[in-house]
Amino acid sequence: MNSTYIVYGGELSYFTRKLEAALIFYGLPYEIRAKRPDNREDIELRSGTHQIPVLHTPENWMVADTTPLMQLLDGRCPDRRMFPAGPVGVLVQVVEDYFDEWVARTMVHYRWHYARSAEFASLRMAGGNPDAARSVREWGPRACRATGTDSEHQQRAAEDEYLRILTAMEAQLADTPYLLGDRPTAVDCVLLGGLRAHTNMDPDPREVTAGFPRVVAWSDGAADDWAGTGELAPFPISTPFCQFVVSEMVDTYQPYVLGNRAAQQAGAKAFHIDTYGEQVSYLSRPYPERSRQMIGERIRSQLAGSEREQFLSWLTDVGLGECFSN
């Protein structure tokens, strides 16, 4: 049986590059391939989604969704887990969720609201075909509206938020090789995905990341040099970077998750919440609610007794209890 994992995705895809980072950390052989007219139908039928990435495993499975995928691979590479056991692993999934479901909107904004980046990305995605690139660029503004960055106020606020993230990353990488300690987790994977597919790739945000030399070097390959050893900072203290992200989630991501949950329960197509002092409309989507529920399930299935009580108490103390406790 061929031991190589095939990733069907793209170099400018946030989640493809997240999965690629994970495969590097797992030390697994992999290739990245594009979906083509002759394989698209089979991939989408077998994986159950039109989205990328899809992982084609050595035993001929086609599996999508990076968070469960990495949990699957954790079982195959237990010494290199991206979601550690115990409370630290649940903390990793909470922080990963913020970057998966919230900061991704900033990546979309940078790419499609700046003409130079939009032209660069669309042409690259279209293989240099200008007609196909125009079709790609028509999709971009719709994605921005759906994720709440239509107004100039939200665009500036999202960029300011990302600057705070980069500042916290730069400081943490001066102290530890990874953002939660001396070994990588799913949090490092998603941040590398964003840098490698978007903000250290597209010309406009690349001018921003250039001001953070440790982050750039980490994205350019320094992060990949991991021997499979090291410890993570303990729960609940973790690292200053992790503390920063958790504090950011309270007033932005948590209202988004709760608003989306209510909209999903009501069968609404959209919902409005206050984001950075402005009423913002968002598309109601099933996946953020599914992701929230996966965290709840991890708390119930992976933690027991005093560990579960400690984690739920911590969620309340940091202001995220309403979001993830049920």
Per-residue pLDDT of the chain (326 residues; tens, 9 = 90+): 579 999 999 999 999 999 999 999 999 999 999 998 899 999 999 999 999 999 999 999 999 999 999 999 999 999 999 999 999 999 999 999 999 999 999 999 999 999 999 999 999 999 999 999 999 999 999 999 999 999 999 999 999 999 999 999 999 999 999 999 999 999 999 999 999 999 999 999 999 999 999 999 999 999 999 999 999 999 999 999 999 999 999 999 999 999 999 999 999 999 999 999 999 999 999 999 999 999 999 999 999 999 999 999 999 999 999 999 87
235 and 186 within one domain: yes
173 and 129 within one domain: yes
147 and 183 within one domain: yes
Domain-terminating residue out of 47, 80, 113: 80
Domain hosting 38: range is 5-80
111 and 11 within one domain: no
147 and 20 within one domain: no
Residues in the chain: 326
100 and 48 within one domain: no
244 and 163 within one domain: yes
Domain-terminating residue out of 62, 80, 98: 80
pLDDT given for residue 2 in this prediction: 72
CATH number, domain containing residue 67: 3.40.30.10
pLDDT given for residue 325 in this prediction: 82
Query: How many domains are there within the chain?
Result: 2
207 and 245 within one domain: yes
pLDDT given for residue 296 in this prediction: 96
